[in-house]
Chain A
Amino acid sequence: NAGVMQNPRHLVRRRGQEARLRCSPMKGHSHVYWYRQLPEEGLKFMVYLQKENIIDESGMPKERFSAEFPKEGPSILRIQQVVRGDSAAYFCASSPGGSGYGYTFGSGTRLTVV
């Protein structure tokens, strides 16, 4: 029973390039959440998605960032024209429902912008 799978584990991008982070939720989980963690800080909520729907994107920067969770395939967090400040660990979590469940997290993708 695989957990939440994120790939790649490490991603290096030059300024101005695009970064695509993938998240496959646990089997049977239809809710996905993305969080960003800067060094020495806690996790900051970015976006909450169900299949084909964005439920809450209140933590997403207004520009360059987008997320999707298609009917088939993993959830994707996309960062266009990356800047050095985007360097962080991005964690995906999933849950079987939106009501009251604790999340299961993946191991994260560490994005470094050079």
Chain B
Amino acid sequence: GQQLNQSPQSMFIQEGEDVSMNCTSSSIFNTWLWYKQDPGEGPVLLIALYKAGELTSNGRLTAQFGITRKDSFLNISASIPSDVGIYFCAGRKTSYDKVIFGPGTSLSVIP
């Protein structure tokens, strides 16, 4: 069954605003991943986190691996129209385990 929860399910924001979304799990993960999917395409890896408490940035994106190892968040600063898409968190419980995906957060940016 579904093991990851993402919130919010969808967001509508004005261009230039900051965005925050998060992901929680009932289990401990040792790796957290954030992906973005554009319509008709496969997911693209944005940020990978490997250590509890780790804070990692990729341009305007910042993600953190929660201290409890059961959550992660993704922030996008100064959103632009091309940020539109579905953002998936994903995680794995051990280094050799499969990656499990959350249900996604749909982001819409109003110019």
Contacts and interface: CB of A to CB of B under 8 A. Distances in A.
Contacts of B73: none
A34 to B, nearest CB: 10
Interface string A33-72: 1010000011111001000000010110000000000000
A56 B41 CA distance: 25
Given A41-B103, A42-B88, A100-B31, A105 B95 contact: no
B41 A107 contact: yes
B96 A99 contact: yes
B43 A98 contact: no
A81 interface: no
Nearest to A33: B98
Given A43-B88, A100-B31, A102-B48, A107 B42 contact: yes
Contacts of A93: 42
Interface residues on B, range: 20 to 34
A108 interface: yes
A36 to B, nearest CB: 11
Nearest to B99: A103
Chain B contact residues: over half helix, strand or loop, or mixed? loop
Contacts of A58: 98
Interface residues of A, number: 24
Contacts of A107: 40-42
Contact of A91 (B33, B42, B45, B103): B42
B30 to A, nearest CB: 8
Nearest to B50: A100
Contact of A45 (B33, B44, B100, B102): B100
A7 interface: no
Interface of B: 30-31, 33, 35, 40-45, 48, 50, 88, 92, 95-96, 98-104
